[in-house]
Amino acid sequence: MSRYKAQRALRPRLEVAVPDTAMVLAAGLGKRMRPLTATRPKPLVEVAGRTLIDHTLDRFAEAGVGKVVVNVHYFADALEAHLAARDDLAISISDERSRLLETGGGVVKALPLIEAETFYVANSDNIWIDGPVDSLHLLAQRWDEAEMDALLLLVPFARAHCHDGPGDFHMDAIGRLSRRRPGRVAPFSFTGVQLVSRRLFENAPEGPFSTNILWNRAIEAGRCFGVVHQGQSYFIGTPEAVKSAEALLQNV
């Protein structure tokens, strides 16, 4: 057992039920990760001895999520074979071999496989390390079905390792989000983890599109919120980021 896995086992959990279902977005081409993705999909790149997708699936299994949908496209056979070896989660495959649908389109295609009204969605190229409490439980505790269509796990700049750019969101006193203002630095970056309602995908565009379109619509309606991740977050977008994250994880 790694040191940070042992530390996670000692963290207290919030007394709240987590949604039983999650989707992991794993269909991207991983072009920025080359040459590591010349012979494998990005989710199978290893960081600190564990593949990226297993880092994500481990967090869901530990939190009590039972069902996970994973979309596949690039080196889909290799990813499916890897996922078939896990016996701690009921994993379904959303097949995008014929057409890559981006983040929003990928979830829309997978909706028939997702029975839940509220479910997690996570990118497969982010690693998050929990702080004092489990972040998936934190999202579940903060969720308000009447007020929210999307609840994003955000991280302040100081704990957003390997993240590029000037930040993603501003957040008001009650957690309602707004986009980074032109010419400004936004104080929060997206960790790649969110809790969403099926309502977010009603009347969604057809074909490939980014989840940003749906977030913008929810922001305009006042139904897109954020909660601050209390631990560390690592975006693994390049081979250099793999090395940086592994060095940082040695101290976690």
Tens-digit pLDDT profile for residues 127-152: 998 988 899 999 999 999 999 999 99
Q: Tokens at residue 202, please?
A: 């009603």
Delimit the domains of the chain by residue range: 3-249
pLDDT of residue 3: 47
**Closest Cα partner for 79 from 50, 113, 42, 107?**
42
Which residues does residue 155 pair with via DSSP β-bridges, in sequence order?
189
Q: CATH top-level class for 3-249?
A: alpha beta
- Vertex 188: Cα angle to 186 and 194 (nearest 5): 135
Between the alpha carbon of residue 106 and those of residues 29, 102, 111, 138, the distances in Å are 14, 6, 9, 25
Tens-digit pLDDT profile for residues 84-113: 999 999 999 999 999 999 999 999 999 999
CA quadruple 53, 113, 80, 42: dihedral positive or negative?
A: negative
Higher pLDDT, 7 or 25: 25
Distance CA 137, CA 134 (A): 5
Mean pLDDT value across the chain? 91
0.95 exceeded by pTM: no
Q: Give me the residue label for tokens 């601050």.
A: 228
HSE-CB of 13 using CA atoms within 13 angstroms: 13
